[in-house]
Amino acid sequence: MSGAVVSPGATGEETESSDDGSGFTDDEQQGEGELEDDEDRIILNGGLGIPIGPDGQPRPLLPPMLPAHKGRKCLVLDLDETLLHSSFKATDFVIPVEIEFAWHSVYVIKRPGVDAFLKRMGELYEVVIFTASLSKYADPVLDKLDIHKVVTHRLFRESCYNHRGVYVKDLSQLGRPIEDTIILDNSPASYIFHPNNAVPVSSWFNDPHDTELTDLCPFLDDLRTVDDVRGVLDGGR
């Protein structure tokens, strides 16, 4: 039977559906197209919005802002290759991590200027770490990294949205005004829903002469005073 494939229907009977030679039936292609349309719609809408719990109430990723941070903007910081780099070679500090039921030593090297950068950002912003890493790795790393105790909230992989195999950080789910939310990340794919909220930063691995975090401080100091960060960032600095 040319141009058609036979497949079992919902009732177990054989039904015909056309095949254009791609290897997918019309129903499969339609489902794939609808999925892509939904994904594109999320981008156009600027994210999924605040999740709704089983009780019908909004469940943002972050709790209400602390009184001490009232009037501040929210600064969302990536972790790996933005603030530090992890490997299996000796560096600044070591953390034990369980990987596939075995314990491994992970060595962490801090990006130059990160301690002063975090201290300063903690004076200006509500600081949130949002990483696509698992909490069993990122939590102990942050315990060591955040020496000034300025990180107010930590979000991990389970809070990301899997967009076509990429972990996206959906700022619309945080529960903060989007015009007051900034993300600093080395991966543009991480903020594909909110490019106008992003301050891009280069990926860092081990360059001891890097000054990017230090150089960003004056810009971020100025950015906290604008009415809408999207009007300044406009797709990245």
What amino acid positions are annotated as catalytic residues? Answer: 78, 80
CB neighbours (10 Å) of residue 157? 15
* Cβ–Cβ under 8 Å, residues 179 and 228: yes
Q: Where are the alpha helices (DSSP H) in the chain?
A: 26-45, 114-124, 135-145, 212-223, 229-233
* Cβ–Cβ under 8 Å, residues 151 and 127: yes
| Type of residue at 147 | I
Phi, psi of 223 (to 5 degrees): -65, -25
| Type of residue at 91 | T
| Type of residue at 42 | I
- 57, two tokens: 């109430």
Which is nearest to 74 in space by CA: 218, 213, 140, 172? 172
* Cβ–Cβ under 8 Å, residues 179 and 229: yes
Residues 77-101 as b or e (16 or more Cβ within 10 Å = b):
bbbbbbbbbbeeeebebebebeeee
